[in-house]
């Protein structure tokens, strides 16, 4: 079972993103995971969950912060995403990487450390879209999903793989002191 840790946008924004993604019938990304901004990819997040306590220890010392989703961009011609550029998120990513200490080859495979780019994926060719459809999405996105929108991040969500390339919520981890873990969820997204 694989895991990753992410930021979830507020419900209203999440719904706008999902509705936009669904306009393209062959866009299968919503079947992979709900819209999110990955903070810590799968490297080092093992099935035994030995890393979870280390993650909790980091998050106790991290207060909530504001995150701004800025503008749409591409990774080559294969991925359309909304870019974010937050010093707090970069710092949090580095702290989580240090806490888990994954192997170098895993760090490279999952684009972590210096290769980490903050983003919320809207669509990609791997999940059914053509390059032409991604360009169409890029042309339409700014009229349907607000850009330069800022929201408060008060928790991170841990996702786990329930079947190949399908991730659902495992648990939410609050930021800051005096917080408790929320109940585990086995619901499929």
- Topology of 3-174 in CATH? Cyclic Phosphodiesterase; Chain: A, (3.90.1140)
Query: pLDDT tens across 107-155, in order?
Result: 555 566 576 889 999 999 989 899 999 999 999 998 899 999 999 999 9
* Position 182 pLDDT exceeds 70: no
The DSSP annotation for 9-33 comes to --HHHHHHHHHHHHTSTT-THHHH-
**What's the confidence (pLDDT) of residue 130?**
95
Q: Residues 72-91: what's their mean pLDDT?
A: 93
As a whole number of angstroms, the distance between CA 15 and CA 9 comes to 9
pLDDT at 81: 95
User: What whole-number distance in Å separates Cα of residue 160 and Cα of residue 139?
Assistant: 33
| Mean pLDDT along residues 154-177 | 95
Lowest mean pLDDT of 1-5, 83-87, 176-180, name the range.
Answer: 176-180
At residue 180, the pLDDT reads: 54
What is the per-residue pLDDT for 42?
Answer: 83
């Amino acid at each position: 079972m694989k895991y990753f840790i992410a930021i979830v946008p507020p419900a209203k924004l999440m719904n706008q993103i999902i509705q936009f993604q669904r306009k393209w019938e062959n866009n299968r990304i919503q079947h992979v995971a709900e819209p999110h901004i990955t903070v810590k990819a799968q490297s080092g997040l093992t099935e035994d969950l030995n890393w979870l306590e280390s993650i909790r220890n980091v998050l106790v010392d991290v207060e909530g912060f504001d995150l701004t989703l800025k503008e749409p961009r591409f990774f080559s011609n294969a991925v359309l995403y909304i870019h974010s550029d937050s010093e707090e998120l970069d710092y949090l990513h580095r702290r989580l990487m240090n806490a888990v200490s994954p192997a170098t080859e895993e760090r490279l495979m999952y684009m972590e450390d210096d290769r980490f780019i903050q983003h919320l994926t809207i669509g990609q060719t791997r999940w059914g879209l053509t390059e032409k459809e991604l360009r169409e999405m890029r042309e339409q996105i700014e009229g349907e999903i607000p850009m330069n929108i800022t929201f408060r991040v008060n928790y991170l969500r841990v996702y786990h793989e329930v079947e190949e390339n399908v991730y659902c919520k495992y648990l939410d981890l609050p930021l800051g002191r005096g917080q408790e873990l929320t109940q585990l969820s086995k619901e499929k997204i």
